[in-house]
Amino acid sequence: MNQIAPIVGRNEPEGISINGWSSIKDTLASPRVLRAEGVYFYDDSGKRWLDFTAQLFNVNLGHQDRRIIDAIKEQAEKLCFISPFYRNEPREELARLLAQVSPGDLNTFFFMNSGTEANEAALTFARMVTGRAKIMSRYRSYHGTGLTTLGVSGDPRRGASANNFPSSVKFPNPYCYRCTFNQTYPSCGVVCATSVEEQILAEGPETIAAIILEPITGGNGPIVAPPEYYGILRKICDKYGILLIADEVINGFGRTGKWFAVEHYGIIPDMMTVSKGINGGVLPLGAVMMRDGLAEKFVDRSVAIGSTQTGNPLACAAGVAALKAMIEDRVVETAAERGIYLMKRLKELEAKHRLIGEVRGLGLLASIELVKDRATREPLVAWNAPDPLVGRIKGMFNDRGVQMHVRSNQIVISPPLIITEAQLEEGLKAIDEVLTELEKTA
């Protein structure tokens, strides 16, 4: 007996496509979205949703930006596809624009189709050029859903594929609210960064190809490192010939109030990986950005990897339109201003709600960390423990028509960067209401 037929409610064969990170039952219970505009989307019941997450941190310019739609249409009429063995105009134009907005000498780009693929490629390059195997990364991190990228991710989702990448070495995050070293900044001397050297020496520096990290941790609950942190890591990497890879898949393209989050710290990584916001989040596209010194190694030597869709003309044309729109509309500067407003308002909520342990973030990437008790900082829900309360909280936002990331005890906020203060207030009102309701029982 087909187990699926009763769930679907039909006996004849039914084509089912499963949502990401979901079961078939979850998939069938999820809303079917018909259309979207700006910071809102609409499902087939007629319900309007406020998108307080820019979907998966990607629809940074909001939904259905006319300039991106027109660019895709125009490119589709000229050239939908050409093999990656040929250059194409939108790919080259996108590279020119990226070189303008990227920090330092990150001027050479290798396009892939997602954040996962960009990180897989960066890790391959790191191992190729150093001849070393190990990759260091942090416990609270997510770098993608491939064998290597999920293996180096600290995110417990890696457990599902039971593939823990054998050459992965992990270290703690600069998570001041829950410091692994039981210290307080600044008297700690940023031990979370300095201690990485001890780990490198214990592992053997000659075995470590790269350190990969999200400058501002994203999906694992935004964590903002102290100002000195990346400068210290940069020096350690230089000392031992280890490449530093900044995974800016979430951070990049204005999310934290700068074009790229490393700019807050004044360092240049050896490689930077990007995706999501690169083309307004509308078509699959990712990229590895390389510094000149690294790119030189590929002048005669092949990058030795690629994908059929490397530098797809439609995805790149969308990227050109998105970057031009961001420059024209001063989206990054606006995101920085909105971020200051958002943090001011979150601090007010923190003062009002006993369930809030800490609010933190940078630009339009923010987190509300929920605790049972402010004094002990006991999390409202243990990190990644299966707890029905998480679903209940998410449901409370769904009931109010607000799309929100709820991850264990973190409410993660990342609206489209074009959001207005009035629209931010709609989401903040929902948060205030949900916390008020929760405080009656939790």
Ligand X SMILES: Cc1ncc(COP(=O)(O)O)c(C=O)c1O
Output the 3-class SS for 52-76.
CCHHHHCCCCCECCHHHHHHHHHHH
Does 247 contact ligand X by CB under 6 A? yes
Does 252 contact ligand X by CB under 6 A? no
Angle CA 6–12–17, to nearest 5? 75
Q: Which stretch binds ligand X (CB under 6 A): 1-9, 112-120, 222-230, 308-316?
A: 112-120
Rounded Cα distance between 341 and 174, Å, is: 25
For residues 396-425, which are near ligand X according to CB under 6 A? none
Cα 361 to its chain centre, rounded Å, is 13
User: What is the residue type of 401?
Assistant: G
Does 115 contact ligand X by CB under 6 A? yes
Rounded Cα distance between 345 and 191, Å, is: 31
Does 151 contact ligand X by CB under 6 A? no
- Pair 27, 53: CB distance under 8 Å: no
Beta carbon nearer to ligand X, 53 or 334: 53
Beta carbon nearer to ligand X, 112 or 371: 112
Does 116 contact ligand X by CB under 6 A? yes
CB of 217 to ligand X, least distance (A): 8
User: What is the residue type of 308?
Assistant: T
CB of 144 to ligand X, least distance (A): 4
Q: Which stretch binds ligand X (CB under 6 A): 73-81, 115-123, 257-265, 298-306?
A: 115-123
Q: Which stretch binds ligand X (CB under 6 A): 108-116, 193-201, 328-336, 360-368?
A: 108-116
Which among 259, 254, 216, 215 is positioned nearest to 234, based on CA atoms?
215
Over the window 263 to 302, marking each residue x when it contacts ligand X by CB under 6 A and - when it does not, the resulting string is ------------x---------------------------
Instruction: List C-alpha distances in Å: 52 to 259, 278, 363, 397.
Output: 20, 19, 14, 10
CB of 215 to ligand X, least distance (A): 10
User: How big is the site for ligand X, counted in residues (CB under 6 A)?
Assistant: 16
CB of 419 to ligand X, least distance (A): 20
Q: Which stretch binds ligand X (CB under 6 A): 165-173, 200-208, 243-251, 394-402?
A: 243-251
Figure out which of the listed residues 103, 151, 218, 280 binds ligand X, where binding follows CB under 6 A: 218
Does 214 contact ligand X by CB under 6 A? yes
Does 250 contact ligand X by CB under 6 A? yes
Separate counts of helices (H) and strands (E) for the chain: 14, 18
User: What is the residue type of 144?
Assistant: G
Phi-psi region of 60 (alpha: psi -120 to 50; beta: other; left: phi over 0): alpha
DSSP state of 83: -
- What values do phi and psi take at 11, rounded to 5? -100, -30
CB of 141 to ligand X, least distance (A): 7
Beta carbon nearer to ligand X, 62 or 115: 115
Over the window 44 to 73, marking each residue x when it contacts ligand X by CB under 6 A and - when it does not, the resulting string is ------------x-----------------
Phi-psi region of 312 (alpha: psi -120 to 50; beta: other; left: phi over 0): beta
CB of 292 to ligand X, least distance (A): 24
Beta carbon nearer to ligand X, 214 or 369: 214
Place of tokens 């092949």: 302
- Pair 252, 331: CB distance under 8 Å: no
Q: How many CA atoms lie within 13 Å of 91's alpha carbon, on the beta-carbon side? A: 24
Figure out which of the listed residues 249, 294, 359, 390 binds ligand X, where binding follows CB under 6 A: 249
Rounded Cα distance between 263 and 266, Å, is: 5
Show Cβ contacts of residue 376 under 8 Å, excluding neighbours closer than 6 positions.
none
* Residues in touch with ligand X (CB under 6 A): 56, 114-116, 119, 142-145, 214, 218-219, 247, 249-250, 275
